[in-house]
Structures are given as structure tokens and as C-alpha cells.
Amino acid sequence: MTFVDEVSILVHGGPGGDGCLSFRREKSVPRGGPDGGSGGAGGSVYLVTDPSSNTLLAFRYQKKFVAERGRHGEGSDKHGRDGHDIEIPVPPGTMVYDADDQTLLADLSEPWQKFLVANGGRGGRGNGVFATSTNRAPRRHEKGGEGEEHRLRLELKLLADVGLVGFPNAGKSTLISRISAARPKIADYPFTTLVPNLGVVDAGGFQSFVVADIPGLIEGAHAGHGLGDRFLRHVERTRLLLHLVDLSSMTGRDTVSEFDTINKELRAYGHGLAQKPQIAVATKLDAMQEPERLAALKAHCRKKKVPLLTISSVTGEGLPELIRKTWAALEKVKAKDTARETKSERPAQTPVY
């Protein structure tokens, strides 16, 4: 399936129905008076997060959404019905911006979250509403109001617990295919992964976490080199990063410079990525021909106080430990976040004198 993470759409609330100008005319009812009904309100447009969706692909084919108009009022005091609202499904993690001034309107991160993006027009009043003791035959009635129209930019940031980062061909796609049901494209050339992939990992004991695999980074990615920073937004919401480093000799890079280059790109990109908890993962243990590459990485990670795990996604060596320690690290991060939120929500105590 094609992955789309940024689109522009036009939303338009339905116009309101017109009020009616009418007078009651029956054989045995002289001076029946005004009986024009009011028009119905136009439908509104809402965005609703749908957990079954993880891409904005549907908006590539439909970019304009108009709610139903309200029905016109009629004689005999018949009021027009309201127009139906429309609800547009979007994936959780969708950021809604005003396309004109780039103002952030909403961050839709919760399942089934509903956000109003265009109000429908109000219904016009019929002449029956304007009858008074001094004006018994009003000829005044109103047109229905126009619905709101907005051009929006939708930007998707995937919701995942763990983000995989590293150079192209560091083994990210192979890893996510071994620890989850995700089946990304795997090949022996750079930038095999062109779109983010999500996988759900079973941590045992009815526990699970979501992993996001993004296309590989290279030096200068924050400035647009390679696939650039387009996909880094998808790890902004993660709680933990798994930093994959290739132990094979085919890359032509030493492991320490590879590790530092990716961290430099995370710092340059900003948005708090460099401050996220990180676990270094030395991959392709089965293809390692120079043990000094692993020794240098171990010493560097010890100096940086970053935990290091060694795995082989091909043979499965180290994968159970990786899952176990990733889950343990996630639990610690969640506990800290909960404590921080509880502290910020705690009301200030009134001093006692």
C-alpha cells in the first residue's frame, strides 16, 4: 500500500436553507396570517481519528469535502430539516494546519477523537417568526447562511512506542520483520525502505509495543540529503529509540563514527529526538569479520552511558533479550512520564500561617 503522510484538502460546511415567505389561505380562515417556516441549518464537517487507518492515502483521490445543505422552509409552518454532518476518517497522529497561515489547529492523537473543521450555515428564518401584535402580516424572511470554507493541510506523525534509526542497510527492516508481523521490503542495496513501517511486538504476558521503522539516515539528512528529514517526524512521538549499527565490514565506515553521525543528525533535526532514551543495537553479528569493530563500539557506548545489545536478525541471536530489555526500558520511561504528569496536575497547596 502506498504511504502518504502529507496532503491538502478543502472542507466546506453546508449552506443553511432559506426561510419561507407564506400566508395561510383557507376557505373558512380569514386573515390566516404568516405561516412561512424557517430553513434548516447546513451540515458541519468533522475529522474523526480511525485506529484502523495509518496513512492519508484516501485524500490523494478526494480533496474536497462539502456537507449537505439545509432544506428550505415551507408554508404551513413547515421548517426545513438540518443538513447531515460528514465525518472524515483520519489516522491517529494527524496534525491539522490552516493551509494559508500554517497555524496548528489540532493534534489528533487519541482514537475516535472528533474535531470540527467547518461549521454549517445557519438556517434562514421564515416570515412566521417575525409576526408581532403590531405587524401581523410581515413579509420579511431570510436567506440561509453560507457554511464555513477552509483549506487545511494534514500532516501525519505515526504513533509508536519505539523508533528504529540508523544508516541505510543497518538491518532495521530485517529486525522489524523478525520481531513483528510487519513485512517490509528487504534487499542488499541502500534505501530499500522508502516509507515508514509499523510493527506490533509481543513482549509476553499479554504485553506488546509498537515499533516504527523509518528509511535510513545519512550525513546531512536534517538538511534534506538522502531521503532527508521527511520521515524523522514519525519518530518524534516515540518514547524510546533503538539505534542500529552495522557490525559487518561492508559499510566502509567504522562503528563509532556511524553511531556519532546518526546522533548528530538527530540533534540537528531537533524536536527533542536527541534527548529521547536510546539503546544501541549492534546488528549483523553473524556477518562480523572484525571483532575490533564491536569492541570499539562497546567502549564508546560505555563512555556515552548508552546501553548496547548485540543481535543477529538472521539467526535470531539476541532477539529475545532485545525485546525484554526494550520493554523494561519502555516501562521506566512510562513511569517517569506518569510521575511528571501527576506532579504537573497536582494543585498548589495553600500555605498555612
Read off the pLDDT band of 320 (50, 70, 90). very high
Q: Does the pLDDT at position 218 exceed 70?
A: no
Indicate the residue among 156, 179, 207 that finishes a domain: 156
304 and 240 together in one domain = yes
Tell me: do 147 and 174 sit in the same domain: no
Q: How many domains does the chain fold into?
A: 2
Same domain, yes or no: 171 and 306:
yes
Task: Judge whether residue 81 has pLDDT over 90.
Answer: yes
**Cα-Cα end-to-end distance for the chain:** 66
- 259 and 138 in a single domain? The answer is no
The answer to the question of residue 353 being in a domain is no
DSSP one-letter string for 213-227: E-PPP-TTGGGT-TT
Are 310 and 193 in a shared domain?
A: yes
* pLDDT average, residue stretch 119-134: 94
Query: Which residue, of 99, 130, 156, is where some domain finishes?
Result: 156
- Is residue 352 in some structural domain? no
Q: In this predicted structure, what is the pLDDT of residue 342?
A: 73
Does 213 score more than 50 pLDDT?
yes
Reading the block at residue 67, the C-alpha cell is 456537507
- Check whether residue 269 and residue 302 sit in a common domain: yes
Which helix (H) or strand (E) segment holds residue 173: the answer is: helix 172-179
C-alpha cell at 349: 497547596
- Identify residue 320 by its one-letter amino acid code: P
* 349 part of a folded domain: no
Q: Which CATH number fits the domain that encloses residue 20?
A: 2.70.210.12
State the residue range of the domain holding 70: 1-156
Q: For position 349, what pLDDT does the model report?
A: 58
Q: Round to whole Å and give the CA distance between 340 and 233.
A: 24
Is residue 350 one of the residues assigned to a domain? Answer: no
Task: For residue 275, tell me if it sits in a domain.
Answer: yes
Query: 198 and 306 in one domain?
Result: yes
Distance CA 68, CA 92 (A): 26
Q: Is residue 348 part of a domain?
A: no
Q: Are 142 and 247 part of one and the same domain?
A: no
Min mean pLDDT across 174-178, 216-220, 329-333 is at: 216-220
pLDDT value of residue 32:
81
Name the packing angle between helices 255-269 and 291-304 (round to 10°). Answer: 40
Alpha-carbon dihedral sign for residues 310, 312, 318, 322: positive
Same domain, 74 and 131: yes
Same domain, 166 and 310: yes
- Which of 127, 156, 185 is the last residue in one of the domains? 156
Average pLDDT over residues 293-304: 94
How far out from the chain centre does Cα 80 lie? 38
In terms of Cα–Cα distance, which of 168, 175, 127, 122 is closest to 146?
Answer: 122
- Compute the half-sphere exposure of residue 167: CA atoms within 13 Å on the CB side of its CA: 24
For 325-341, what is the mean pLDDT?
A: 87
Distance CA 57, CA 66 (A): 19
Helices (H) and strands (E) in the chain, counts: 4, 14
In a domain, 58, yes or no: yes
Same domain? 201 vs 120: no
> Mean pLDDT over residues 288-317, rounded?
93
**Rounded CA separation 287/250 (Å):** 9
pLDDT at 190: 46
Domain holding 226: CATH number?
3.40.50.300
Q: Residue for cell digits 525484554?
A: 324
Lowest-confidence region among 120-124, 237-241, 340-344: 340-344
Residue environment code for 131-165, b if the CB has 16+ CB neighbours within 10 A, otherwise e? beeeeeebeebbbbbebbebebbbbbbbbbbbbbb
Q: What is the pLDDT of residue 125?
A: 96
Q: Is 241 within a domain? A: yes
Looking at the structure, do residues 184 and 135 belong to the same domain, yes or no? no
Q: How far is CA 50 from CA 1, 54, 68, in A?
A: 17, 9, 22
The pTM (predicted TM-score) of the whole model is: 0.75
